[in-house]
């Protein structure tokens, strides 16, 4: 074990750099997924006819195996190619569904008496959304973000296969050279990152909700 | 002669074509007057109420609100001038009591100091001492206390017209009695016209200057307790008053 610790310590610079890349992939993808998923989720509550097809489509995309999705994206012009950009696009696609679905469910879950009161006292639609619906839906949206982030940390390890960097680099290299130490040097920080996000966002979720 | 705060003239409204909820509905509420709208459930009471803040628009006839035809009112601006109290309060659960009461003044852009003074005045009026209640959230209040906050919210911007939809309907008998008693003194202080929807005829007689009996989409009769009891306009009113009025 001390031999393993030394191995780890000697590569701390690389491990740290790859952890940083990994984090960047996940954070960038989640931020984009929130920026797309929350407004889209809200829009779907205003157009119930579109909700089923759009959520169904997002569900179907989610079912595509991740490596296959990376493969599909590589030849696509503008967003494709080898590297982090393609990986981020794929991560956004996967993160979108939980955020979209939870935003939609969260807004629809607001007590109708409360939304009626909001309109009844003279809030515009925008004020109602900003002051009442989004704050009340926030714990549910946050739960979706939490799922998206945890799944994203896992998927980002696979993104190394298309040259996106991140901790997956160590895992793939370790597999290729049959070096367990190298595999663990990628796997342990990745697992820790997923657990930390899950714990941190879970704690935040407890603090903000549920409200009634 | 002053114009009524609210007047319905021959209003028709159907949510399903051919099955009007209101048909030939006429009623007027004078400034400072309280009128109760009573009738069996499904008779269109709530629809009539919602016409007065444009949550619903009429298909035919006219609704005059605060001296202007309803269609000429911008719905959002109108709703900030017309107080609205609904059953169970409809309070914003993520806001404190004070924030709930200050909701309309805040939408209207009142300065903080003025908002604060107003919310404290109203909370004191509805029997919730601000020092004790301002910073609490609706979750921590009893049903009666929540409804008091709802009333304070509806009056916070000095609304000249207040709409109440079964405001005391969800309360236990004791809280209900207390609110009914206090309602009189609030009304005297605020001088707002009130249209009150209730299924409880005794409550209507207790609180309102005049009571309108609604059935089949139109008002069968409007009058005081005495008028409705002594000279009912038709057999429906006679039986309704005889059954529920005492």
Contact yes or no for A121 and B107 at CB 8 A: yes
B113-126: pLDDT as tens digits: 999 999 999 999 99
Question: Helix A66-73 vs helix A84-108: angle between axes, to the nearest 10 degrees?
Answer: 120
Per residue in A171-196, is it b (16+ CB within 10 Å) or e — as a string? bbebeeeeeeebbbbbbebbeebbee
Q: What is the mean pLDDT of residues B38-45?
A: 85
Q: Please state, in angstroms and rounded to a whole number, the distance separating the CA atoms of residues B183 and B118.
A: 19
Contacts of A132 in chain B (CB under 8 A): 92, 94
Longest dimension (CA), chain A: 69
Cβ–Cβ under 8 Å, residues B65 and B74: no
Helix or strand holding residue B68 (H, E): strand B68-69
Structure token pair of residue A163: 């040259």
CA distance A44 to A31: 20
Q: Please name the member of A113, A127, A211 whose beta carbon is closest to the beta carbon of B94.
A: A211
Q: Which residues of B touch A131 (CB under 8 A)?
A: 92
Complex ipTM more than 0.85, yes or no: yes
A85 within 8 A of A159, measured Cβ to Cβ: no
Give per-residue pLDDT as tens, A134-182: 999 999 999 999 999 999 999 999 988 888 889 999 999 999 999 999 9
Q: Dump pLDDT digits (tens) for A86-122.
A: 889 989 999 999 999 999 999 999 999 999 999 999 9
- Cα A141 vs. chain centroid, distance in angstroms? 12
Partner residue facing A116 (CB), from B80, B90, B107: B90
Q: Which of A112, A122, A124, A207 is best to mutate for the B interface (most B CBs within 10 A)?
A: A122
Nearest C-alpha neighbor of A156 from the set A177, A172, A179: A172
The average confidence (pLDDT) of chain B is 91
pLDDT value at B42 more than 80? no
Distance from CA of A80 to the nearest CA of B (A): 44
Identify the contact set of chain A against chain B, taking CB-CB distances under 8 A: 111, 113-114, 116-124, 127, 131-132, 135-136, 211-212
Residues B206-237 pLDDT 10s: 899 999 999 988 999 999 998 998 988 888 89
- Decide which of A67 and A2 is more confident: A67
Closest residue in A to B86 (Cα) is A117
CA dihedral B233, B237, B239, B241 (to 10 degrees): -110
CA angle B182, B187, B190 (to 5 degrees): 125
* Mutate which: B103, B154, B197, vs A, most A CBs within 10 A: B103
Mean pLDDT value across residues B53-74: 93
Q: In which band, very low, low, confident or very high, does the pLDDT at A66 lie, cut at 50, 70 and 90? A: confident
pLDDT of residue A212: 44
Which chain B residues contact residue A211 at CB under 8 A?
93-94, 139
pTM: 0.86
Tell me, what's the pLDDT at A210? 57
Peptide bond into A136 cis (omega under 30): no
pLDDT for A92: 92
Confidence band for A195, pLDDT divided at 50, 70 and 90: very high
- Search chain B and give the residue with CA nearest A132: B92
Tell me the H-state helices in A47-179: 48-62, 66-73, 84-108, 112-120, 125-127, 134-158, 168-176
Residue B139 token pair: 């979750």
Average pLDDT over residues B78-106: 92
CA distance A114 to chain B (A): 5
């Amino acid at each position: 074990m001390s031999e393993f610790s030394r191995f780890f310590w000697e590569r701390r610079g690389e491990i740290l750099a790859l952890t940083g890349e990994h984090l960047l992939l996940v954070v960038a993808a989640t931020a984009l997924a929130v920026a797309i998923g929350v407004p889209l989720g809200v829009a779907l509550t205003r157009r119930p006819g579109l909700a089923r097809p759009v959520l169904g489509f997002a569900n179907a995309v989610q079912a595509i195996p991740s490596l296959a999705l990376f493969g599909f994206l590589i030849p696509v012009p503008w967003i494709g190619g080898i590297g982090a950009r393609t990986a981020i696009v794929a991560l956004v696609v996967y993160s979108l569904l939980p955020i979209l679905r939870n935003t939609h469910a969260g807004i629809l879950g607001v007590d109708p008496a409360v939304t009626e009161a909001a309109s009844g006292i003279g809030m515009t639609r925008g004020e109602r959304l900003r002051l009442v619906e989004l704050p009340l839906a926030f714990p549910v949206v946050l739960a979706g973000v939490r799922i998206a982030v945890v799944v994203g940390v896992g998927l980002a390890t696979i993104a190394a296969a298309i040259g996106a960097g991140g901790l997956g680099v160590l895992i793939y290299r370790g597999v290729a050279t049959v070096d367990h130490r190298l595999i663990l040097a990628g796997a342990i920080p990745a697992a820790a990152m997923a657990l930390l996000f899950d714990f941190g966002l879970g704690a935040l979720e407890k603090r903000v909700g549920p409200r009634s | 002669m002053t114009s009524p705060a609210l007047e319905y003239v021959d209003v028709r409204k159907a949510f399903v074509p051919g099955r009007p909820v209101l048909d030939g509905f006429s009623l007027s509420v004078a400034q400072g007057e309280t009128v109760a709208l009573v009738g069996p459930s499904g008779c269109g009471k709530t629809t009539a109420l919602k016409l007065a803040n444009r949550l619903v628009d009429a298909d035919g006839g006219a609704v005059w609100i605060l001296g202007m035809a309803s269609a000429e009112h911008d719905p959002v601006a109108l709703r900030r001038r017309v107080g609205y109290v609904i059953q169970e309060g409809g309070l914003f659960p993520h806001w404190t009591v004070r924030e709930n009461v200050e909701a309309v003044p805040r939408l209207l852009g009142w300065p903080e100091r003025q908002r604060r003074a107003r919310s404290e005045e109203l909370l004191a009026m509805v029997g919730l001492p601000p020092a004790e209640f301002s910073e609490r959230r609706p979750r921590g209040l009893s049903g009666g206390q929540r409804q008091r906050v709802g009333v304070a919210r509806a009056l916070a911007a000095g609304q000249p017209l207040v709409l109440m939809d079964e405001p005391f309907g969800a309360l236990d008998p004791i809280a209900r009695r207390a609110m009914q008693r206090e309602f009189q003194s609030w009304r005297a202080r605020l001088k707002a016209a009130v249209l009150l929807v209730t299924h409880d005829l005794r409550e209507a007689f207790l609180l309102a200057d005049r009571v309108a009996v609604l059935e089949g989409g139109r008002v069968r009769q409007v009058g005081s307790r005495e008028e409705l009891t002594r000279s009912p306009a038709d057999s429906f009113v006679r039986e309704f008053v005889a059954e529920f009025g005492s």
